[in-house]
Amino acid sequence: MYKLEITLPDDIAKKLQEAATQLNISPEEMAADSIAEKLERYAVYKSVAKHVLKKNSELYKRLA
């Protein structure tokens, strides 16, 4: 497992701790889950952007 150490502003650290407590998970698990979700959204974004660029490539060529 990859170990990552980060420094958070106090207000974000407090929100992280509060949310993790409400979900009955550790702050580390909450942070890891959040990073995983962000990476998944980024992968979807890249896929959609690639599809749109491919689908509209002829239009973009004509507009250039």
Distances in whole angstroms, Cα of residue 16 to Cα of each of 36, 39, 62: 15, 18, 49
Q: What is the pLDDT along the chain (64 residues), one digit of tens a residue?
A: 899 999 999 999 999 999 999 999 999 999 999 999 999 999 999 999 999 999 898 888 888 8
Residue with structure tokens 């497992």?
A: 1
Tell me how far apart the alpha carbons of residues 57 and 51 are, in angstroms, rounded to a whole number. Answer: 10
pTM here? 0.74
Distances in whole angstroms, Cα of residue 64 to Cα of each of 31, 48, 55, 57: 43, 22, 16, 11
> Looking at residue 14, what is its pLDDT?
98
User: What is the domain partition of the chain in residue ranges?
Assistant: 27-64
> Looking at residue 59, what is its pLDDT?
86
